[in-house]
Amino acid sequence: MVGTRSLIAWPAARWRRPLFFLLVIVSTLAGAGLMFEILRANGMTMLESMVLALFVVVFGWIVVAFWTAVLGFLLQWSRRDPLTLSRQQPVPEAPVTARTALVIPVCNEETRRVMAGVEAMVAELAEQGWLGHFDVFLLSDSSRAEVAAAEQEAWQALQARQPRARLFYRRRAQNTERKVGNLKDFCQRWGACYDFMIVLDADSIMRVDCLLDLVRLMQSQPQCGLIQTVPIPVRSVTFFGRFVQFAAALYSPMLAAGLSFWQMDAANYWGHNAILRTRAFIDHCGLPPLPGKPPLGGDILSHDFVEAALLRRAGWQVLLRADLQGSYEEVPSNLIDYAKRDRRWVQGNMQHLRLLFRPGFHIVSRLHFLFGALAYIASLLWLLMLLLSAVDAVWRALDSEEYFASAYQLFPDWPIVRTGEIITLLTITIALLLLPKVLGVVIALRDRRRAFGGARRLLSGAVVEMLFAILIAPLMMMFHAWFVLSILLGRNVSWDAQVRAGRLVPWAEAWRRTAAGALLALLTGALTWWVAPVFFWWLTPVLAGLLLAAPVVRYSSSPWLGAVMHSAGVFITPDEVEPEAVLQGVAERLANQPALPQALAPPLLPPEQPVAMPRQRL
């Protein structure tokens, strides 16, 4: 265990988190005060009290994201490192002396894509002379025989093409404990052979200089147990996929800088594109199952949050480096597959609520548990707040002509509408949601306009991104609200391979997945239009997003529309303006599948050095 005295004393560490949460609390209370004034104008009802309680939670969630973005903007504008607060500097070059394993857990993934990514990284390591410092492990949990056979054959071919590389393939016969068990098996058999391991997903791609920066940072900071990079989505061709990767490339560095500022040495782990100190991970990250049955019991699905919390509990630093570039991933290319991935995260993140008050965890680790769950629960709260507000508006509209509540009342109760406060609160809420995007654009215009193809392309992409984000927000709210409800009702989720390749969603699937939300919008819109038309106009952005959901899902999944946007200069990303060699290597290998050698040697495995990975007490 690393004692807390050995941790780096970050500059201004004592006031960073108090300042951040003071800003959050004061802003939330101000918004809650405005909402209270609006609701109490005609006397608070039980419904309105419930609306106020829901509003405080969801408004507070928006405020956290807002102030994180503002802090990130200030740091990037002044070119300050969010951890040290000094001027940003590249990672110093130093001799690489550590042994590092690149570990890639896979389970029934598309073999060609996995191998293309691995070979592109291995080839770049070979070209730059760093191949001897990294061993590469493909850790397969594939249950389908044809997938496993394809993996083994492709790995043998890769060994033949890269004879100087240390490439190892291991397939488990039984997929116990999912990815947690996969990495545990590696750690118990070979983890002791390596100082560090860089964990990659099946779709992860990392530049050599990013890999080297991670190793050098870990070498120079012996008290550090984990460093997380910011993976940027790439290689998508559909409208939706290009929307996601443009938004990530534009806003993620700024948001990550803000997070790193107040999280300091208690940052989070996102499960991939990160480096871990192998001994620390073995000693402190053995996960037990949660008591009870799924969905809230059993194997911990979002294991990465818990592993970061366990490392920090043991005294190791967990850092988020927002400045490291060259870390990439791929994302689902349409709304339906994107939501399916979220469904798994919802269940995993809601499991974290059971760990919220377990002893020993750092306060920031507890916030990761809370915020991770709230990211999805907030959608259910938004939906409940809208529905309760609609019920209240209809009720008051039906009751609006009763001005004398008592037979002995001398003066009537005239209805009061706080129009000024309503407009003020609405303006503030919109500003909190949109201003972080504006700040991201401002930073990019100053520092990275060429990377996005120039100011015109950057601005046009940002405008379309904002409009499309507003359009799909009601649908994502419906999806996430239903996911949370289904978990509370006891429905478990399967954890299969993600669908990342571009596909045009069929009309039948688009209508089936969005029909419930469209029907709810139709009924709510008809009722409020008939009884409370003023409230109907307030609801129109939400109602329109739900009623148009099926066409939006269908057309945003179109590779043709994605190509049209690219030709028009919309959603241009830095990796397209200045193509990365490693990304080009992936594309070339997918376009031209290498021929298999005649004689293939069996996949190798290094000598084992068994160690125990004890289960932690939660």
User: What does the pLDDT look like over 248-272, one tens digit per residue?
Assistant: 999 999 999 999 999 999 999 999 9
Q: Which residue, among 256, 248, 251, 242, has the nearest Cα to 442 in the 3D structure?
A: 251
- Confidence grade of residue 532 (pLDDT, cut at 50, 70, 90): confident
pLDDT at 59 > cutoff 80: yes
pLDDT, position 503: 86
Mean per-residue pLDDT for 104-112?
Answer: 94
pLDDT, position 493: 76
pLDDT, position 410: 42
CA distance 273 to 329: 8
Mean per-residue pLDDT for 450-465?
Answer: 97
User: What does the pLDDT look like over 278-293, one tens digit per residue?
Assistant: 999 999 999 999 999 9
User: What does the pLDDT look like over 328-357, one tens digit per residue?
Assistant: 999 999 999 999 999 989 999 999 999 999
Half-sphere exposure at residue 519, Cβ-oriented, CA atoms within 13 angstroms: 6
- Confidence grade of residue 534 (pLDDT, cut at 50, 70, 90): confident
**Which residues are CB-neighbours of 222 under 8 A, at least 6 positions away?**
none
Q: Which residue, among 166, 167, 159, has the nearest Cα to 597 in the 3D structure?
A: 159
pLDDT at 315 > cutoff 80: yes
Mean per-residue pLDDT for 235-239?
Answer: 95
- Confidence grade of residue 538 (pLDDT, cut at 50, 70, 90): confident
**β-bridge partners, 290:** 298
- Confidence grade of residue 403 (pLDDT, cut at 50, 70, 90): very low
Mean per-residue pLDDT for 481-501?
Answer: 82
**Which residues are CB-neighbours of 592 under 8 A, at least 6 positions away?**
none
User: What does the pLDDT look like over 462-480, one tens digit per residue?
Assistant: 999 999 999 999 999 999 9
pLDDT, position 398: 73
CA distance 336 to 508: 12
CA distance 275 to 524: 49
Q: What percent of the chain has pLDDT over 70?
A: 92
pLDDT at 401 > cutoff 70: no
**Which residue would you say has higher pLDDT here, 412 or 393?**
393
User: What does the pLDDT look like over 562-599, one tens digit per residue?
Assistant: 999 999 999 999 999 999 999 999 999 999 877 666 55
CA distance 24 to 70: 12
pLDDT, position 317: 96
User: What does the pLDDT look like over 197-219, one tens digit per residue?
Assistant: 999 999 999 999 999 999 999 99
Work out the widest C-alpha separation in the chain, in whole angstroms: 101
Name the average pLDDT for the chain: 91
pLDDT at 404 > cutoff 60: no
Write out the two tokens for 44: 């608070």
pLDDT, position 215: 98
- Confidence grade of residue 535 (pLDDT, cut at 50, 70, 90): confident
Q: From residue 443, give the alpha-carbon distance in Å to each of 422, 437, 570.
A: 32, 10, 18
Helix (H) or strand (E) holding 342: helix 335-351
